[in-house]
Amino acid sequence: MLNFTFYSPTYFVFGKDTECQSGEYVRKFGGSRVLIHYGGGSVVRSGLLARVEQSLTDAGVTFVELGGVMPNPRSGLVYEGIELCKREKVDFVLAVGGGSVIDSAKAIALGSCYDGDFWDFYEDRTRTASATALPVGVVLTIAAAGSEGSSDSVITKEEGMLKRATGGDCLRPKFSILNPALTQTLPPYQTASGATDIMAHVFERYFTNTTHVETTDRLCEAVLMAMIHEVPKVIADPNDYEARANIMWAGMVAHNDICGVGREQDWNSHWLEHEISAVNDCAHGAGLAVVMPAWMEYVVDHDVMRFAQVATRVWGCSMDYADPRATAMAGIEAFRNFLRSIGMPTTMAELGAKEEDIPYFVKTLGLNGGETGGFVHLKDADAEAIYRLACK
């Protein structure tokens, strides 16, 4: 196990009707004039936005609003939010939505305390480690990205459609309100996309070259097994609150890094997927459902026994000691079959992505002859090969 530090100070408020405590927690963490940031009309139609507004009013907190966040959140709205925060002297940003809204809120919070272009932090994420940002709070509406407990943010720059990430402790939410009941109205496809993202966050940590990490291996495996158990339940019955609750907490655990400390991590599947969703505007989880099994097939021989381990421990495959690779491949196929069973795509064509776009994906990935990833270091030719595997 590697040396590590672990810092995860977010205050979590979990359960039914907890969104009605939004104002109390904004006050608790120093907010007095808030930007409420949200996506489309669902938070309005459901009455969620009104409940949050009333909670803020009851707590004596004034607010301004900015809606319109799209999946794969765009830089244009971030710039608009930064200008609004500076003009209105906002001192707290409250995200009401899922990962896209939270990521956009974090970008606004970061840019509001910076005199330059907020994109500087996404071009060079190391800058964020020493940056300051407005405090951020969250009312979560979908279990997926884990942004409610993480220090990360992903934004798409409209000029060139470049999708990039940054991260730093200044972006960790001060509090996150998690009411699983708010996810019960999600369409099955959106639920499944979120679940896939959660599982991908675990796999990005699980596939490691670091040895003697049994504790975090078992934590990862437990989260994956919980998802395998709970996701089919909510696909069959969207109103299964207890299954929704387990999935929502799994989303946070998967990405606040408690499953990843002390071990080298990979993240290649995420970088590869970002180029696809930036161009095709598909759900991030759906893109991962296509890319991650293809990545697994491509790198399986790097550490066959690690793939065989997850195949037996998580997917219940029988260990073939004479041919561990067969066990490893059976595990990959079990993952792909699970994705299909919950309605996820497993090929580029199902996403609407075209094979002729692959050279562009490789170019915008930005390796420029360099390498990316922690488990296996990929070069341009490797990225292209994985994209082509994802077409089959």
Could you tell me if 80 and 194 lie in one domain? Answer: no
Could you tell me if 32 and 93 lie in one domain? Answer: yes
Could you tell me if 276 and 164 lie in one domain? Answer: no
Q: How many domains does the chain have?
A: 2
- How sure is the predictor about 316, in pLDDT bands with cuts at 50, 70 and 90? very high
pLDDT of residue 147: 95
- Residue type present at position 260: G
Close Cβ partners of 322 (under 8 Å, ≥ 6 residues apart): none
- Tell me which of 182, 205, 227 is where a domain ends: 182
Q: Report whether pLDDT(367) > 90.
A: no
Q: Which residues pair with 165 in a beta bridge?
A: 154
Could you tell me if 161 and 249 lie in one domain? Answer: no
CATH number at residue 291: 1.20.1090.10
Q: Report whether pLDDT(369) > 90.
A: no
Which of 133, 126, 289, 319 lies closest to 197, judged by CA?
289
pLDDT of residue 368: 60
pLDDT of residue 107: 98
Distances in Å between the alpha carbon of 170 and those of 113, 120, 127, 134? 11, 16, 11, 8
Could you tell me if 166 and 245 lie in one domain? Answer: no
Could you tell me if 195 and 244 lie in one domain? Answer: yes
- Tell me which of 133, 151, 182 is where a domain ends: 182
pLDDT of residue 41: 84
Q: Report whether pLDDT(256) > 80.
A: yes
* Averaged pLDDT score across all residues of the chain: 96
- How sure is the predictor about 385, in pLDDT bands with cuts at 50, 70 and 90? very high
Could you tell me if 105 and 159 lie in one domain? Answer: yes
CA distance 248 to 143: 5
CB-facing half-sphere around the CA of 334: CA atoms within 13 A: 20
Task: Tell me what the mean pLDDT of segment 333-360 comes to.
Answer: 95
- How sure is the predictor about 370, in pLDDT bands with cuts at 50, 70 and 90? low
pTM greater than 0.85 (yes/no): yes
pLDDT of residue 220: 98
pLDDT of residue 281: 87
- How sure is the predictor about 40, in pLDDT bands with cuts at 50, 70 and 90? confident
Question: Is residue 184 within 8 Å of 241, Cβ to Cβ?
Answer: yes
CA distance 196 to 217: 19
Which of 266, 260, 253 lies closest to 223, judged by CA?
253
Residue 316 — left, alpha, or beta (φ > 0 → left; ψ -120 to 50 → alpha)? left
Task: Tell me what the mean pLDDT of segment 229-242 comes to.
Answer: 97
Distances in Å between the alpha carbon of 196 and those of 113, 200, 361, 382? 34, 6, 22, 23
Q: Percent of the chain, pLDDT > 70?
A: 99
- Residue type present at position 369: G
Residue 119 — left, alpha, or beta (φ > 0 → left; ψ -120 to 50 → alpha)? alpha
Instruction: Give the rounded distance of the alpha carbon of 376 from its chain centre.
Output: 21
Residue 218 in domain: yes
> For residue range 160-212, what is the model confidence (pLDDT) as tens digits?
888 999 999 999 999 999 999 999 999 999 999 999 999 999 999 999 999 99
Q: Report whether pLDDT(119) > 90.
A: yes
CA distance 189 to 86: 37
CA distance 386 to 213: 28
pLDDT of residue 180: 98
pLDDT of residue 278: 87
Could you tell me if 123 and 216 lie in one domain? Answer: no
- How sure is the predictor about 366, in pLDDT bands with cuts at 50, 70 and 90? confident
- How sure is the predictor about 364, in pLDDT bands with cuts at 50, 70 and 90? confident
CA distance 93 to 334: 41
Residue 6 in domain: no
- Residue type present at position 357: D
Unique residue bearing structure tokens 């079959």: 337
Close Cβ partners of 230 (under 8 Å, ≥ 6 residues apart): 243, 246, 247, 250
CA distance 323 to 94: 53
Unique residue bearing structure tokens 């606040």: 256
> For residue range 47-60, what is the model confidence (pLDDT) as tens digits?
999 999 999 999 99
Could you tell me if 289 and 358 lie in one domain? Answer: yes
Which of 199, 215, 192 lies closest to 6, judged by CA?
215
Q: Which residues pair with 320 in a beta bridge?
A: none
Secondary structure (3-state) at 157: strand
Task: Tell me what the mean pLDDT of segment 17-24 comes to.
Answer: 98
- Tell me which of 167, 182, 197 is where a domain ends: 182
Number of separate helices (H) and strands (E) present in the chain: 16, 8
CA distance 103 to 151: 10
Sign of the dihedral defined by the CA atoms of residues 263, 264, 268, 270, in that order: positive
Q: Running DSSP on this structure, what letter comes out for residue 302?
A: G
Which of 142, 391, 124 lies closest to 276, judged by CA?
391
Sheet hosting strand 11-14, strand order edge to edge:
11-14, 175-178, 136-140, 92-97, 33-38, 62-66
Residues making up the chain, counted from first to last: 392
Could you tell me if 81 and 163 lie in one domain? Answer: yes
Could you tell me if 195 and 106 lie in one domain? Answer: no
Residue 293 in domain: yes
| Residue numbers of the domain that contains 152 | 11-182
Could you tell me if 241 and 343 lie in one domain? Answer: yes
Return the structure tokens found at 372: 């990316």
